[in-house]
A and B are shown apart, each in its own frame.
Chain A
Amino acid sequence: MTNSSFTWQRGLIYTILLAFAALYLVPLYVMLTTSLKDIEEIRQGNLLALPDNPTLYAWTKAWSSACTGSECEGLAPFFWNSVRIVVPAVVISTIVGALNGYALAKWRFRGSEMLFGALLFGCFIPFQVILLPMARLLATLGLANTVTGLVLVHVIYGVAFTTLFFRNFYVSVPTELVKAAQLDGAGFFAIFRHIFLPISLPIFTVTLIWQFTQIWNDFLFGVVYSGPGTQPITVALNNLVNTSMGGKEYNVDMAAAIIAALPTLVIYVLAGKYFVRGLTAGAVKG
């Protein structure tokens, strides 16, 4: 049964939602259109206008020839630097987090709650606090200015979060499953592999997205612990925007910013529905 006031309210709700969606999308729209304009058209000042003669000039320049400081090789080398940092850091921190979470949720030992509390504390430590001690540590380990060093920092920082995610997910798995598997002769890792891993897709997705976004978007660690050849894309983007050779090329800046943001956007589009599902997946019904 529908009546007119009901549909009227529906209409209002959708109008408001659309308005807010538009508000959020305007910056992206401006970035995209600006990146496709040439610099002459940008100077005319019609920020919201569609490009008259769309061109990929800004994109190719941002990718392969824009200057980031003294070199002018575009963002490409830094993009791959980021990939080399993000992939191992995400994989390692997720695996460690899964095992930690599994152990803390289902293999309680003396002090395990305290250990979890201490790990949780790691989530609340601001990045800035550990900058100096971490720099000392990396220097001592001989990992200063290396990709490995950055991976290590991100793994350490990420494990607190990934452990939290997995632990809270696994806590809802009935402990009797573990007991049953123990009686069936399965050990710590066999239970993880055969019982826990197969139900973990949602939480793996959440963790992968979270870690990927965090590490890809990181600027502070990237700028502090990287060397000339190991800077991640966020640092390069900053350098690119701040390096002015003559006039400011807004179209190149915009294209570069989109390139830097693209991987996280792609991940969200591909796995976003699992992300929401994973966040809300509490109960595992047996």
Chain B
Amino acid sequence: MGSLSINQVTKSFGDTEVLKGINIDVQNGEFIILVGPSGCGKSTLMNMIAGLESVTSGTLEMDGRDVTHVSPKDRDIAMVFQSYALYPTMNVARNISFGLEMRGVDKAERERVVADVAALLQIDHLLDRKPSQLSGGQRQRVAMGRALARSPEVFLFDEPLSNLDAKLRVEMRTEIKKLHKRLGTTIVYVTHDQIEAMTLADRIAVMKDGILQQLGTPAEIYDDPANQFVAGFMGSPPMNFIRVDTCDGGDIEVEIGGQTHRLTLPCSPGIAASNQREVILGIRPEMITQPKPENTQGIAASMDFDVIEPMGADTMAIGEWNGQTLMARLSPEAGQCAGANTAIQLDISKCVAFDTANGDRIR
């Protein structure tokens, strides 16, 4: 079935190495998302899985079969492109059935598949139209229909939602997730949108500069980031990074609202072992809240907030620790009266620390 194994794959364009030894094993039926900033090599990797780019070194296997040098059409893969890449002169029905036509499937069967796919994606009424007569969301559906028609082992999605407006994007995101649930086909999905990654993926592969930074479930990536890059990339608003001094025993010292707090982090033994005088403390905004009496583990403090940003469900409040900007996530009620000398509560059970030099996680 649709398992995929990427072994030590590299890609160079001349002297520029854009992928530096990627290893990813995708299970059959898994929804895996490649995420990273632009230029991290995620689209190149996807094109290599599709067979549209050659592999410089390393191997690609599908279902245990080495496909490193197999041509795209023999890989049993379908792809949805960012620009949809619908054939402009063909109507929707022919766009969907073109792959079958090229593979010599007879006309009756093609018509049956087109009808099935169109019903599944609710585009029955569009079959006679040309792509130029469709809206963005409809084109997106047709592009997905074209991929579905061939019922391949693996679907590739290359930033499929980035050309849609915000509302439609959320709708289509849900639709893709439903579709995956229903079909159970392996999906490899490229995006630079970390929210898409968090919401859709079974596992996320975070990439930067051609290197796989971390591969894990959304929860692992979010709560247990491998390094400062991953921690900062995933999550919105992003994790706060504060440069802090360490003390004996691996505790850290941080000045909050004019008072110096000494905190013992889960990773304090690791900090002690690393002998660093300074580390970067990583604390997500939702770990800094208004006092919550029900949480007895919380640490009480008070601090000044300069800027308050209500977002509806939450209110983001911006202040400083150690003279460095930091964001807290308060309830709307607490946010309304936040300002100078506001009482807060810290939950440090998920705080992480990073090496100041290379951003590596200190555990």
* Of A180, A185, A194, the contact of B85 (CB 8 Å cutoff): A180
Q: Is the CB of A182 within 8 A of B73?
A: yes
User: Which of B74-82, B182-190, B275-283 is the contact stretch?
Assistant: B74-82
Residues of A within 8 A of B51 (CB): 182-183
Closest to A184 in B: B99
CB distance A183 to B83 under 8 Å?
Answer: no
Contact present for A286 and B84 (CB under 8 Å): yes
* Contact call B98/A194, Cβ cutoff below 8 A: yes
Cα distance, A286 to B132, chains bound together (Å): 6
- Chain B residue with Cβ nearest A190: B102
Residues 145 to 191 of chain A near chain B (Cβ within 8 Å): 174, 176-177, 179-186, 190
List of B residues within 8 angstroms of A185 by Cβ = 73, 99, 102-103
Interface residues on B, range: 20 to 34
Interfacial chain B residues near A194, Cβ < 8 Å? 87, 90, 98
Taken together as a complex, chains A and B put the C-alpha atoms of A183 and B150 apart, in Å, by: 10
Q: Whole-angstrom distance between the alpha carbons of A177 and B77 in the complex?
A: 16
Bound form: Cα–Cα A283–B78 in Å: 26
- Whole-angstrom CA separation of A177 from B150 in the bound complex: 17
Is residue A10 contacting chain B, with contact meaning CB distance below 8 A? no
Judged by a CB distance under 8 angstroms, whether B335 is at the interface is no
> Given the interface contacts A174-B83, A176-B83, A285-B132, does A183 sit within 8 Å of B72 by beta carbon?
yes
**B103 touching A179 by the CB < 8 A rule?**
no
- Residue from B81, B83, B89 having most chain A Cβ neighbours under 10 A: B89
Are B77 and A181 neighbours in the complex by a CB distance under 8 Å?
A: no
Asked whether A28 is an interface residue with its Cβ less than 8 Å from the other chain, the reply is no
For the complex, is A47 an interface residue (Cβ under 8 Å from B)? Answer: no
Query: B131 contacts the other chain (Cβ, under 8 Å)?
Result: yes
Within the complex, the shortest CB–CB distance from B186 to chain A, in Å, comes to: 15
Q: Provide the residues of chain A in CB contact with B89, threshold 8 Å.
A: 195, 198-199
Chain B residues 141-182 with CB under 8 Å of chain A are 146, 150
Task: Indicate the member of A177, A181, A185, A285 with the most B CB atoms within 10 Å.
Answer: A185
How many CB-defined contacts (below 8 Å) exist between A and B? Answer: 72
Quick check: is B300 within 8 A (CB to CB) of the other chain? no
The interface residues of chain A lying within 8 Å CB-to-CB of B79 are 179-180, 183
* Chain A residue nearest to B84 in the complex (CB): A286
Q: Find B50's partner among A177, A183, A199, A285 (CB 8 Å cutoff).
A: A183
Residues of A within 8 A of B340 (CB): none
| Chain B positions within 8 Å of A174 at CB level | 83, 85
> In the bound complex, how far is the Cα of B134 from the Cα of A286, in angstroms?
10
**Complex contact B73–A179 (CB within 8 A):** no
Any chain A CB within 8 A of the CB of B19? no
Given the complex, which residues of B lie within 8 Å of A179, measured CB to CB?
47, 50, 52, 72, 79, 81, 85
Q: How far is the CA of A41 from the CA of B39 in the complex (A)?
A: 79
Q: How many residues of A sit at the interface, in one of the four size bands?
A: 10 to 19
Interface-central residue, B47, B77, B82, B88, by most chain A CB under 10 Å: B88
Supposing A183-B73, A185-B102 touch, asked if A195 and B83 sit within 8 A by C-beta, the answer is: no
Q: In the assembled complex, which residues on chain A have CB atoms less than 8 Å from the CB atom of B81?
A: 176, 179-180
With A199-B88, A284-B88, A285-B132 already in contact, the answer to whether A183 and B99 are too (CB < 8 A) is: yes
Q: Is B252 an interface residue (CB 8 A)?
A: no
Inside 8 A of A182's CB, which chain B residues have their CB? 51-52, 71-73
Give Cα A284–Cα B82 distance, bound, in whole angstroms: 17
Residues of A contacting B90 in the complex (Cβ-Cβ under 8 angstroms):
194, 198
A181, B81: Cα distance in complex, Å: 12
In the complex, B86 has a CB within 8 A of chain A: yes
Residues facing B in A25-83 (CB within 8 A) are none
Which residues of B are found within 8 Å of A198, using beta-carbon distances? 89-90
- Give bound CA distance, A7 to B264, whole Å: 84
For the complex, what is the distance from the CA of A199 to the CA of B88, rounded to whole Å? Answer: 8
The residues of B that contact A176 with a CB separation of less than 8 Å are: 81-83, 85
- Distance in angstroms from B353 CB to nearest chain A CB is 43
A111 to chain B, nearest CB (A): 14
Closest residue of chain B to A197 (Cβ to Cβ) is B89
A285 to B134, CA, bound (A): 12
Q: Which residue of B lies closest to A195 (CB)?
A: B87
In the bound complex, how far is the Cα of B86 from the Cα of A177, in angstroms?
Answer: 7
Identity of the chain B residue whose Cβ is nearest the Cβ of A286 in the assembled complex: B88
A286 engages B86 (CB within 8 Å): yes
Task: Tell whether A183 pairs with B98 under 8 Å between CB atoms, given A176-B85, A177-B87, A285-B88.
Answer: no
Contacts of A177 in B (CB 8 A): 85, 87-88
Question: Which of B47, B52, B77 has the largest number of chain A CB atoms within 10 A?
Answer: B52
A285, B51: Cα distance in complex, Å: 26
Chain B residues with CB below 8 A from A180, complex form = 79, 81, 85, 87, 146
Q: Which residues of B contact A190 (CB under 8 A)?
A: 102
CB distance from B100 to the nearest CB of A (A): 9
Task: Give 9 pairs: A residue, B residue, CB < 8 Å, sorted on A.
Answer: A179-B85, A180-B81, A181-B87, A183-B72, A183-B77, A184-B98, A185-B102, A186-B102, A199-B88
Cβ-closest 6 pairs across A and B: A184-B99, A198-B89, A176-B85, A185-B102, A185-B73, A180-B85
| Chain B interfacial positions (CB closer than 8 Å to A) | 47, 50-52, 71-73, 77-79, 81-90, 98-99, 102-103, 131-132, 146, 150
The residues of A with any CB-CB pair to B shorter than 8 Å are: 174, 176-177, 179-186, 190, 194-195, 198-199, 284-286
A-B contacts besides A179-B50, A182-B72, A286-B84, 17 pairs, CB < 8 Å? A174-B85, A176-B81, A176-B82, A176-B85, A177-B88, A179-B72, A182-B52, A183-B50, A183-B72, A183-B73, A184-B99, A184-B102, A184-B146, A185-B103, A186-B102, A285-B132, A286-B83
